[in-house]
Amino acid sequence: MTDSRDLDLPFGYLDLLEGLKASVKAARAKALRVINTQLIELYWTIGQGVRRQQEQQGWGSGVIKRLSEDLRREFPDMKGLSPRNIQYMTTFAAMWPDGAIAQQFVAQLPWGHIMVLLDKKLEPQLTDAYAAAAVEYGWSRNVLLNMIMNKTLERTGNAPSNFAQQLAAQSSELAQQVAKDPYNFEFLGLSGEVAERDLENALTSRITETLRELGPGFSFVGRQVHFFVDGDDYFVDLLFFHVDQNRYVVIELKTGKFQPEYAGKLNFYVALVDDMLRRDHHNETIGILICGTKNDRSVRYSLGRSTSPMAVAAYTYDKLPADEKLALPNEGHVVAALEWAEPESDQPDQE
């Protein structure tokens, strides 16, 4: 609805207003990031001080409780000084013992994200990798938790492929990171044997979760994409475009065990998309065959003679433990996957 006041505005006013709004929002976001980093540095400093005293003097939980009381008495308006939180700070400092904490990706994350990373007790390199991914893709705390529980980064790039043989070195390394193994389709709620069409329907009907499982950069183009070749009809199961890599990705679904002829069919579809849809400014099309089970040796033989860049991955319906399943993000969290804002009920205890 147009504001009646707009009729009296001078030329260029609305454009200026929109530009200023964008500038204010950007400045506020930057200020919040700076404040957050300073808070994380403070928490690290507190944790480092306590950790050193624990090592040198053998401090126990009673001293931490007294420290919490004294700090809260001195700074009554400051949240986050509970004994529980100070213990987290100590663990935080032990995880990143070097002094340049501000240079770490973790320093750009909200404290609630860091608590998730500390709770999961991952290997240091993997912890850093999840912290970097959360910063790069703007994962909310619940999405980060879900990614860790689903072992998303551990599965990324694991699918056997012929990318190294069919693509230039840098392109093959990027393409390899697109293909996970196995894919986790537990979010579909399916069990037992299902028909390929049912699996395809389920994936497209829950496309938000599917895209999240495939990974950042995927954009859905269509399902059963039709191609007409000299009187013959062909249909690609699922077609995506990877925005970051500027390439089409053909995905074929098979619910049974991998068979060598599946690679031949995918090879044909990749060549078809490459010829009929790919433009000069696009990178080479790649294909991913997702099947129920696979013999990696058979896969290697099949891909070794294929002329198109392809990977083969399995999928699983494995269920998460009941207590971890309760912590999975709900639909609202998934929709907000790229937002920093988190529901109030998910904020860590700052008492």
Residue 351 pLDDT: 43
Residue 326, pLDDT > 70, answer no
pLDDT in tens, 207-236: 988 998 999 899 999 999 999 999 999 999
- Write b or e for each residue in 261-296: b if 16 or more Cβ atoms lie within 10 A of its Cβ, otherwise e: ebbeebbbbbbbbbeebeeeeebbbbbbbbbbebee
pLDDT at 2: 52
CA 156/CA 168 separation, integer angstroms: 20
> What letter represents residue 121's amino acid?
K
What mean pLDDT do residues 189-197 have? 79
pLDDT digits over 28-83, tens only?
A: 877 777 788 889 999 999 999 998 888 887 777 788 899 999 999 999 888 889 99
Examine the pLDDT at 342 and tell me if it is beyond 90: no
| pLDDT tens column, 75-86 | 988 888 999 999
Residue type, 66: R
pLDDT at 246: 94
